[in-house]
């Protein structure tokens, strides 16, 4: 600071007041406001043109109604197709007044030409919507035969109610009707 500053003092005589601190400060500010002492950034902020915003298209609505599950939709559709009159639902829905119960005897009529019917006691009703099946047991020529019938199958013509259970079965699945294996031996 020393020599360079002194060199910038005006070449004239100084009074005592001028050489005081305030005079020096004034000199300093005058000197400092000189444009030569202002520090430039060294670069220029360029004004780039802003990029065009990306055009975002709206999606089309889904074919499925909002909040619906395709499995549910298809099950409803197929149930109305396979069971238009609703007799299957009447026989196998738990709450229906005509509902079949385990222990009842039922005759199944098939669409096949070779095997027309099967009579048996209802051992179990497996309720799974379209996959509902019923397990029937009977003695055919002294041989125990069990048959699992898909209720909504197109090969099933009808279920004919034969007789109600003598005594209400105390459970849903009557696997105890099967003979004990140990007793014979």
Partner 1 sequence: MVVSRVVATQRRALLSSAALRRTVMGCSEFRSSHTTSTSARPDIPTLSEFVSSFTTRQIEEPVVTNTTEVHTSITTTIPIAAAAPGHRRFKRSELPLPVLFDSPHAALSRKQLPKRTGTIAFKRGMMSIFDENGVRIPVTILQIDRVEVTYVKTLDKHGYFAVQVGAGARQAKNVTKPMLGHFSKAGVAPKKTVAEFRVRDESGLLPITQEITAEHFKEGQFVDIWARSKGKGFSGVMKRHGFSGLPASHGVSVSHRSAGSTGQSQDPGRVLKGKKMAGRMGGDYVTVQNSKVVKIYPEYGLVLVKGPVPGPKYAAVSIQDALKKPDVE
Residues in touch with partner 1 (CB under 8 A): 54-60, 62-64, 69-71, 73-75, 78, 82, 111, 130-131, 150, 152-156
Least Å from the CB of residue 153 to partner 1: 5
Least Å from the CB of residue 122 to partner 1: 20
Least Å from the CB of residue 55 to partner 1: 5
Nearer to partner 1, 21 or 63 (CB): 63
Nearer to partner 1, 153 or 163 (CB): 153
What pairing do the DSSP bridges indicate for beta strands 105-110 and 117-126? antiparallel
H-helix or E-strand containing 113?
none
Q: In this structure, what token pair is assigned to residue 75?
A: 């099950």
Least Å from the CB of residue 125 to partner 1: 17
Nearer to partner 1, 42 or 84 (CB): 84
Q: How many residues does the chain have?
A: 185
Least Å from the CB of residue 151 to partner 1: 11
Burial class of residue 139 (count of CB atoms within 10 Å of its CB; 0-12, 13-18, 19+): exposed
Name the residue among 70, 47, 178 with its Cα closest to residue 124.
Answer: 178
Nearer to partner 1, 64 or 98 (CB): 64
At 105 the three-state DSSP class reads strand
Q: Is residue 75 within 8 Å of residue 130, measured between CB atoms?
A: yes
Q: How far apart are CA 182 and CA 61, in angstroms?
A: 64
Neighbours of 78 (CB within 10 A): 13
Nearer to partner 1, 12 or 71 (CB): 71
């Amino acid at each position: 600071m020393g020599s360079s500053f002194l060199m910038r003092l005006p070449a004239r005589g100084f009074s005592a007041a001028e050489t005081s601190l305030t005079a020096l400060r004034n000199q300093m500010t005058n000197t400092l406001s000189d444009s030569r002492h202002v520090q430039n950034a060294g670069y220029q902020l360029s004004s780039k043109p802003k990029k065009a915003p990306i055009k975002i298209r709206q999606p089309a609505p889904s074919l499925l109604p909002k909040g619906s599950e395709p499995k549910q939709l298809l099950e409803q559709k197929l149930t109305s197709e396979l069971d238009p009159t609703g007799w299957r639902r009447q026989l196998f829905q738990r709450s229906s007044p005509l509902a079949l119960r385990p222990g009842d005897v039922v005759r199944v009529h098939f669409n096949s030409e070779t095997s027309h019917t099967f009579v048996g006691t209802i051992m179990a009703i497996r309720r799974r919507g379209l996959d509902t099946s019923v397990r029937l047991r009977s003695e055919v020529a002294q041989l125990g035969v069990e048959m699992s019938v898909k209720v909504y199958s197109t090969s099933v013509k009808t279920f004919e109610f034969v007789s109600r259970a003598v005594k209400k079965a105390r459970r849903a699945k009557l696997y105890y009707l099967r003979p004990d294996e140990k007793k014979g031996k």
